[in-house]
Amino acid sequence: MNDDLGAAVHLPRPPDRVVSLVPSLTEAVAVTTPGLLAGATDYCTHPPGLDVPRVGGSKYPSVERILALAPDLVVANAEENRREDVEALRGAGVPVWVTYPRTLDEAFTSLARLLAVLGDGDPPWLAEARASWAPPPPAVPRRAVIPVWRRPWVVIGGGTFAGDVLRRLGVHNLYDDAPDRYPRPPLAEIVARAPDLVVLPDEPYAFTADDGPESFPGVPCALVSGRHLTWYGPSLAEARALLESQLRAGFGGAESG
């Protein structure tokens, strides 16, 4: 079996103990195969009340703590986790499955493949998610920028999962053609692109009504759930309806003001 990057993952039998280094995959494993999860990162917040040993952050997990949990599989992501940690785990004899979806369709395929390795490739929430995202996007897209950090400003560029989610919601990313996946333009340049809408997620930077919109006077700002914008897991089943509602509120709220 090969993971999303094409690396061979040798599993003589279905895993009994899985450590997840990706919050969305932690939720997917915990919801789909209860009892299989042996550890997770400090940032794995879902499902609520998740009670498993913690191994540190996604970028800097403790390899020693992971190995002490004796997993027979670790799940990681090419963007969230460092290659050196993946290689250290593999060097210690632990199989690591690395995911790398950059579109919704890739996420659905990636999840089904991983969950099949764990013993259930077609859970109900995955079917619900596929169905919810089946309708086409609106015919007339809104031109938007999507900051994910400030000081310095960082925006979503092309080839990203979140960018594809927004495209499916009728949002045209004005930085979709940027050479970098996460450009760092100055604020003046962002404003000069004259977006119809600024999309402000609450993670990784926690934009709020009082922290973010003031930088874009006169431009509608939509505060959206970062989890539903960037996570690929059970949250996808409810993400479309929630994000559509949040986008409408941001766009309509500014119009009415």
| 57 in the same domain as 24 | yes
- The overall longest dimension of the chain from CA atoms, in Å, is 61
Using omega within 30 degrees of 0 as the cis cutoff, is the peptide bond preceding 152 cis? yes
Look at residue 49 and give its three-state secondary structure.
coil
| 171 in the same domain as 107 | no
Element (H, E) at 254: helix 236-256
| 108 in the same domain as 147 | no
| 252 in the same domain as 142 | yes
Pair 146, 160: CB distance under 8 Å: no
| 141 in the same domain as 117 | no
| 26 in the same domain as 59 | yes
Rounded average pLDDT over 106-129? 93
pTM: 0.91
Q: Which of 70, 98, 122 represents a domain boundary (last residue)?
A: 122
Q: Which of 181, 212, 186, 180 is nearest to 197 (CA)?
A: 212
Distance CA 87, CA 106 (A): 24
Pair 146, 201: CB distance under 8 Å: yes
Domain housing 204: 134-256
| 100 in the same domain as 48 | yes
pLDDT value of residue 222: 97
Residue 91, in any domain of the structure: yes
| 144 in the same domain as 101 | no
DSSP 108: H
Pair 193, 174: CB distance under 8 Å: yes
What are the tens digits of pLDDT across the range 223-253?
999 999 999 999 999 999 999 999 999 887 5
Q: CATH number, domain at 152?
A: 3.40.50.1980
- Count of domains observed in the chain: 2
Q: Which of 102, 122, 142 represents a domain boundary (last residue)?
A: 122
Pair 9, 74: CB distance under 8 Å: no
Q: What percent of the chain has pLDDT over 90?
A: 90
Residue 186, in any domain of the structure: yes
φ and ψ at residue 180, rounded to 5 degrees: -100, 145
